[in-house]
Amino acid sequence: MTTIAFIGLGNMGGPMAVNLAKADKRVLGFDFSAAALDKAREGGVEPAPSGAAAAEQADVIVTMLPAGKHLLAALDGDDGLLRSARKGALLIDCSTVDMDSARAAHDLAAKRGLKSVDAPVSGGVGGATAATLTFMVGGADDAVALARPILEAMGKKIVHCGGPGAGQAAKICNNMILGVSMIAVSEAFVLGEKLGLSHQALFDVASTASGQCWSLTSYCPVPGPVPASPANRDYAPGFATALMLKDLNLSQAAAQGSGASTPLGRRAAEIFAAFANGGGAEKDFSGIIEFLRGAEG
């Protein structure tokens, strides 16, 4: 039986670890939060006393941590996972992190004789719970082949995007599209309101015409047309604005580092920053429509 060390049992990592346990893997879990550890235990995860203690028994180490600094500290700190990991083990980092941290994690793993992939996800807490996540994977062919059956227990689509870091690159680019498109859809509803157009009429047209996109059809920023969208529950997340802002800032750091021109990505980061700083950080990112109504009115 494959033994997996799962580090970071938060909103996403908790249900992902439980799905691995349901798929008959032995899962040793660790999180600084006792509450997160308890919840995962109820789902069949064995709590470990530390990340290092879990890693020393593991064939595969999965990390699901907030950001790059947490990842590098967990891997390489005094009690770091890589200090106790077995040579030949596989590291799968599912966190969304900046490109430099993603590449540094691959380098650290290689120095310790581990194979590694970056495998950030799309699909949110719902996808993590239902094991329907999309994984964007970066790494060498042999590492990705080893990771695939583990990822299949947590998701339904696995895309090998290229070499080390390519999964994070895909995630950053995808979420820049998402941030920009949510602003575009919200602006269209605000303009439609001014023009006397009902929300439903604009939705019925745009959702079957060339304005169609995920921000409109899955996360529609006005209540009514898509009953499951956060707009119907006063913008409770969903996908919090703070996380969208984090991802847009990652896109802008990557754009600066690579010399890419992303004027709409930059403007989207500014608009989401203003919304977050004005009290919207914990709201779903589709709540940006309320900010746009206020900004314009």
Which residues contact ligand NAD (rule: CB under 6 A)? 7-13, 30-33, 36, 51, 64-66, 70, 73-74, 95-96, 121, 124-125, 239, 243
- Shortest spacing between CB 200 and ligand NAD, in angstroms: 28
Residues 6 or more apart in contact with residue 9 via CB below 8 angstroms: 17, 29, 30, 31, 33, 36, 37, 39, 40, 45, 64
How far apart (Å, rounded) are the C-alpha atoms in residues 225 and 216?
9
Please give the structure tokens belonging to residue 267: 């403007």
Which residue, 58 or 206, is less far from ligand NAD as judged by CB? 58
The single-letter DSSP state of residue 223 is: S
Q: Which ranges constitute the DSSP H helices of the chain?
A: 13-22, 34-42, 51-55, 68-76, 81-84, 99-111, 124-130, 141-152, 166-194, 199-206, 214-217, 241-258, 263-275, 288-296
- Shortest spacing between CB 192 and ligand NAD, in angstroms: 28
- Shortest spacing between CB 46 and ligand NAD, in angstroms: 15
- Shortest spacing between CB 16 and ligand NAD, in angstroms: 9
In this structure, are residues 178 and 171 in contact, taking their beta carbons and an 8 Å threshold?
no
Which residue, 51 or 265, is less far from ligand NAD as judged by CB? 51
Measuring CA to CA, how many Å separate 183 from each of 77, 167, 269, 284, 286?
Answer: 39, 25, 11, 13, 8
Helix (H, G, I), strand (E, B) or coil at 30: strand
- Shortest spacing between CB 240 and ligand NAD, in angstroms: 7
Q: Which of 25, 115, 171, 246 is catalytic?
A: 171
Please give the structure tokens belonging to residue 147: 């990771």
How far apart (Å, rounded) are the C-alpha atoms in residues 230 and 34?
29
Nearest CA to 64 out of 29, 94, 90 is that of 94
* Residues facing residue 116 across a β-bridge: 91
- Shortest spacing between CB 124 and ligand NAD, in angstroms: 4
Which residue, 73 or 236, is less far from ligand NAD as judged by CB? 73
Q: Is 156 a catalytic residue?
A: no
Which residue, 51 or 192, is less far from ligand NAD as judged by CB? 51
Which residue, 43 or 66, is less far from ligand NAD as judged by CB? 66
How far apart (Å, rounded) are the C-alpha atoms in residues 11 and 192?
36
Which residue, 45 or 190, is less far from ligand NAD as judged by CB? 45
How far apart (Å, rounded) are the C-alpha atoms in residues 27 and 45?
5
Could you give the residue numbers annotated as active site?
171
